[in-house]
Amino acid sequence: MMGQKVFGAKCTSCGTVSYPRHAVCPNCRAESFEDVEISGTGKVLTYTDVYALAIDYETRYLRLAIVELESGQRVTGQLLDDDPKLGKAVKTQIGVVREQGERQMYGFQFVPA
Amino acid sequence: MKPVYIAGAGMTKFGRSEWSLLQLASVASLAALHHADLGEIPVDGVVVANMGAARINRQTALGSALVDQLALYPAAAEAVENGPASGASAFKVGVQAIASGMADVVLVTGVERMRVVNGLEGTDFVASLSQPEVEYIYGVTLPSLAGMFARLFMDRFGVERKHLAMIAIKNHENATKNPYAHIQQTVTMEGILTAPEAVVNNPPIAEPLHMFDCCPVSDGAASIVLVSEEVAGKLGGPMVRVAGIGQATDTHAVHEREDPTDLKAVRIASEKAFAMAGAQPADVDVAELHDAFTILEIAESEAAGFFAKGEGHKALERGETKLDGTLPINPSGGLKAKGHPVGATGVAQLVELTWQLRGEAKERQIKDAKIGYACNFGGFGNNVVATVLRREA
């Protein structure tokens, strides 16, 4: 989606980027952060096709993954790949990952790099 | 700290129940109170463990509600919500009350009535424990976290689907010896994995996990009566001591863990519990692990210190964790087959250990069991309570 980004929190003291953000830096315990965009290419650490879905989804299953980005962060998101494999190169894009009534929630989708 | 003993234990049958939340809690509580046979000795406190009643049963303040049901006024009452670790957390609160000298008798009751809502709503209520901004919004549910964990763990350590099936087969077999278990049916390797019809019998839930890798959704309650040394002395009978409790947390989002296959909170909680008990994993005669998913029994058996990393499935293959093995795991049937009424589970694990240590486990009794260990695994491993019980006399 144009203009949609996902942000992590970069500690202004030690530079550690956390995703999700914490009130206190897990690395140095500082309490001040600046937003940094998280995106790019990475590798699939693990994935699943989940059929035990929560409310808000009408699909039969969701393909979810944890990806290790080259920038160092790990992120969870939806894997849009018909041939998923551990270690496969993917890149992030931003899309609607959940709809609650009228509310659309944006987040990571991973597509083959 | 003052010593704390378990004087009584009881539970309802797990499964689908027509009873209300409070009826379930009352029946389990009365079973434990009758087992303890307190006579005129008053109950000082009641701690109720529950995760979902505020949302799925539209009921809150369960501690005082249970005191009222049992007419235990003016006993102190509270409720503990700590995700799937609520049960052992409530137990810990009860133990602390007695260890501190503030109470002499505490009733701890875990209860959940979750089959009243449909599957989507039930799965969602548990999924609401996940990290809201970076997990829940993607449709993450507990089975999906377990599926992703399982795929990585199996890839790294050579665990195969047949090992997961062995856990299911063992725990279903154990459950047939437990009249309180939800599932009373044995399963076979052919039926759930190798025969052509296995794909129909055992559909995928969160690949590589299938239906028989996942615990059922259950209603139920379990209850324990904790007492001080003075009260235990008055009651006589078998003395089961709360030897050690350890608790640890880990990151909320699974992807933030340095090694997502390392159940760090299980490791730390267990180390603390064993240190407090002055015992080693090798001393344990019987263990109840939190096998909400079959892979977790293998991973927890390693993180708790019973087997080296990557060795849990090999010990399973050798039969060491069967009822007649060197370290029986989940004689009750585990969450897999006994059932998993979320708030009741941590208490039910300790009910089973109490019965085992008192020699009251009948068909599934482990001979001369003296030391028991339980792992109550909250979140997806972000809040773990480990408990060590010891038979003293």
Beta carbons of A78 and B139 less than 8 Å apart: yes
Using the Cβ of B205 and the Cβ atoms of chain A, whether some distance falls under 8 Å is answered with yes
| Strands of B45-49's sheet in order across | B76-80, B45-49, B105-113, B219-228, B4-11, B240-249, B383-391, B371-378, B286-288
Q: Who's near A103: CB < 8 A, 6+ residues apart?
A: none
Quote the mean pLDDT of chain A: 95
Please check whether residue B109 is in contact with residue B93, taking contact to mean a CB–CB distance below 8 angstroms: no
Mean pLDDT by 10 residues, chain B (393 residues): 97 98 98 97 98 96 98 98 98 98 98 94 93 96 98 98 98 98 98 96 97 97 98 94 98 96 98 98 98 98 98 98 98 98 98 98 98 97 97 91
Whether B53 is covered by a domain: the verdict is yes
* CATH number of the domain enclosing B101: 3.40.47.10
pLDDT of residue B393: 80
Using the Cβ of B121 and the Cβ atoms of chain A, whether some distance falls under 8 Å is answered with yes
Of B257, B300, B266, the residue nearest B385 (C-alpha) = B266
In B, minimum Cα distance to A97 occurs at B138
Least CB–CB distance from B144: residue in A19, A50, A97: A50
Beta carbons of B148 and A46 less than 8 Å apart: yes
- Phi and psi at B82, nearest 5°, equal -140, 45
Answer whether residue A1 shows pLDDT above 70.
no
**Three-state secondary-structure class, residue B161:** helix
Whether B354 is covered by a domain: the verdict is no
Give the distance from residue A86's alpha carbon to the nearest chain B alpha carbon, in angstroms.
8
Q: Which tokens go with B7?
A: 């004087």
Beta carbons of A74 and B155 less than 8 Å apart: no
> B66: domain range?
4-117+217-235
Whether B98 is covered by a domain: the verdict is yes
Whether B350 is covered by a domain: the verdict is no
Which site among B55, B129, B151 would you substitute to test the A interface, given the most A Cβ atoms closer than 10 Å to its Cβ?
Answer: B151
Of B178, B248, B174, the residue nearest B220 (C-alpha) = B178
| Strands of A7-11's sheet in order across | A17-18, A7-11, A33-37
The domain tally of chain B equals: 1
Least CB–CB distance from A74: residue in B149, B205, B256: B256
In A, minimum Cα distance to B258 occurs at A74
Q: Which tokens go with B151?
A: 């795929």
Beta carbons of A98 and B123 less than 8 Å apart: no
Which site among B126, B130, B137 would you substitute to test the A interface, given the most A Cβ atoms closer than 10 Å to its Cβ?
Answer: B137
Give the distance from residue A19's alpha carbon to the nearest chain B alpha carbon, in angstroms.
8
Beta carbons of B206 and A20 less than 8 Å apart: no
Answer whether residue A3 shows pLDDT above 80.
no
Answer whether residue A19 shows pLDDT above 90.
yes
- Its sign, for the CA torsion B312, B316, B320, B324, is positive
Answer whether residue A2 shows pLDDT above 80.
no
Whether B58 is covered by a domain: the verdict is yes
Residue A55: which pLDDT band, with cuts at 50, 70 and 90?
confident
pLDDT of residue B266: 98
CA–CA dist B356, B340 (Å, integer): 20
In A, minimum Cα distance to B138 occurs at A97
Largest CA distance in chain B: 61
Beta carbons of B252 and A20 less than 8 Å apart: yes
Considering only CB atoms, which chain A residues are within 8 Å of B214? 52
Please check whether residue B24 is in contact with residue B65, taking contact to mean a CB–CB distance below 8 angstroms: no
Domains assigned to chain A: 7-36 (no CATH), 39-112 (2.40.50)
**Three-state secondary-structure class, residue B111:** strand
Least CB–CB distance from B137: residue in A50, A52, A97: A97
Give the distance from residue B375's alpha carbon to the nearest chain A alpha carbon, in angstroms.
25
Of B96, B110, B101, B105, the residue nearest B40 (C-alpha) = B105
DSSP for A29-84? Answer: ----EEEEE---EEEEEEEEEE-S--TT--SS-EEEEEEEETTS-EEEEEE--SS-
Using the Cβ of B141 and the Cβ atoms of chain A, whether some distance falls under 8 Å is answered with yes
pLDDT of residue B113: 98
Beta carbons of B141 and A54 less than 8 Å apart: yes
Name the residue type at position B345.
Answer: T
Q: Which tokens go with B89?
A: 């957390």
Beta carbons of B139 and A57 less than 8 Å apart: yes
